[in-house]
């Protein structure tokens, strides 16, 4: 009798080591899966999963169809850690763009990604906030202070700089990425 129990324990241990063994699903993965199912992406946004087995790391493409950034295509990486939803996702723009709330390294200034994050917020709230940044850039909470100053003091010059930068031009000595579709 004890030999059979020993054989069963050994078989169970061997099964757990096999590549076919199921990986444990974390609470962060469950929450992200739920949030992704609940997403209401408009026609101006889409998600891309470079690794389909990793839902905690994906890209969001925003293609505004109105406002100053109309005609552009902006890609953001979302990196979600295992402590989600207690920690906000890390969001970064992959292109160098001229925007008061996105610095030249791609960091995004959105209050719900920092001090106003709460676990009850979901990915949809973040994505709507990201979309809103392209409709109404916020000069009062900037990461790119020069762009914010332009927006505050001369909206028309700001619009020209946005258009120039989106086409891959140089604004104030900085070469920007061409993000036009």
CATH topology for 25-175 is: Ubiquitin Conjugating Enzyme (3.10.110)
Q: What is the pLDDT of residue 15?
A: 60
- Quick check: 119 and 86 in contact, CB under 8 A? yes
Q: How confident is the model at residue 141 (pLDDT cuts 50, 70, 90)?
A: confident
Cβ–Cβ under 8 Å, residues 60 and 69: no
Mapped onto helix, strand or coil, the DSSP state of residue 3 is: helix
Question: In the numeric block, which tokens belong to residue 60?
Answer: 């969001």
pLDDT reported for residue 5: 57
Per-residue pLDDT tens over the stretch 91-127:
999 999 999 999 999 999 999 999 999 999 999 999 9
- Judged against a pLDDT cut of 90, whether residue 135 lies above it is answered with yes
Which residue ranges make up each domain of the chain?
Answer: 25-175
Active site residue 109: yes
Structure tokens, 172: 């104030």
Residue 10 has pLDDT above 70, yes or no: no
Catalytic residue among 32, 62, 109, 147: 109
Q: What share of the chain is helix, strand, coil (3-state, %, to 5)?
A: 35, 20, 45
Query: In this predicted structure, what is the pLDDT of residue 41?
Result: 85
For 51-69, b/e burial (b = at least 16 CB within 10 A) is eeeebbebebbbbbeebbb
For residue 24, what pLDDT is reported?
86
């Amino acid at each position: 009798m004890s030999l059979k129990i020993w054989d069963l324990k050994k078989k169970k241990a061997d099964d757990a080591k096999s590549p076919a063994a199921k990986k444990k699903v974390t609470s962060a993965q469950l929450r992200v899966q739920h949030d992704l199912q609940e997403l209401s992406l408009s026609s101006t946004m889409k998600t891309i999963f470079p690794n389909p087995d990793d839902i905690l790391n994906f890209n969001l493409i925003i293609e505004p169809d109105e406002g100053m950034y109309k005609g552009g295509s902006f890609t953001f990486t979302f990196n979600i850690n295992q402590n989600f939803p207690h920690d906000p996702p890390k969001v970064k723009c992959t292109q160098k763009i001229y925007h008061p709330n996105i610095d030249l390294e791609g960091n995004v200034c959105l209050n719900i990604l920092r001090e106003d994050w709460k676990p009850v917020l979901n990915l949809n709230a973040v994505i709507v906030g990201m979309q809103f940044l392209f409709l109404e850039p916020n000069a009062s909470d900037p990461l790119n202070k020069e762009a914010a100053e332009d927006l505050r003091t001369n909206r028309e010059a700001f619009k020209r700089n946005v258009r120039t930068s989106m086409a891959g031009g140089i604004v104030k000595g900085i070469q920007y990425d061409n993000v036009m579709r």
